[in-house]
Amino acid sequence: MFSANHACEAINSCRTYANVSEIRDGNVAVIALYAPDVSAKMLADYHENCPFVRLRPFTVDNYPAYFKDYRNYRFKFPTVVSVLPEFSTIMYIDASIRFQKQKSETLSDLFTSMETKFAPQGIRLLSSATHPNFPVVHPDMYEFFNVTEEQTKGSTQFQSGLYLLNNSPEGWNIVEKMVECAVEPKCMAPKGAKVQCQYKELKKNLKVICHRFDQSALNMRLIELYGTNETLYYQPSSIIKVVRMGKCKL
Determine the Cα–Cα distance for residues 97 and 144; give it in Å rounded to an integer.
30
Quote the pLDDT of residue 246.
59
H or E element, residue 52: none
pLDDT of residue 197: 84
Task: Report the C-alpha gap between 78 and 242 in whole angstroms.
Answer: 23
pLDDT given for residue 247 in this prediction: 65
- Checking DSSP bridges between strand 89-93 and strand 31-34, what pairing results, if any? unpaired
Give residue 136's Cα distance to chain centre.
Answer: 16
How many CB atoms lie under 10 A from the CB of residue 21? Answer: 14
Q: Give, in order, the Cα–Cα distances in Å from 228 to each of 51, 98, 147, 170.
A: 41, 28, 10, 17
214-250: per-residue pLDDT in tens? 999 999 999 999 999 999 999 999 999 988 765 677 6
Given a contact cutoff of 8 angstroms between Cβ atoms, the answer to whether 53 and 31 are in contact is: yes
Nearest to 211 by CA among 99, 136, 121: 136
**pTM for the whole thing?**
0.94
In whole angstroms, give the CA distance from residue 148 to residue 42: 44
How far apart CA 233 and CA 211 sit, in angstroms, is 22
CB distance 137 to 248 below 8 Å = no
Q: What is the pLDDT of residue 178?
A: 98
pLDDT number for residue 8: 93
Q: List the chain residues with pLDDT less than 50.
A: none
Between CA 123 and CA 147 the distance in angstroms is 19
How large is the greatest C-alpha to C-alpha distance in the chain, in angstroms?
49
Please give the Cα distance from 46 to 3 (Å, whole number): 12
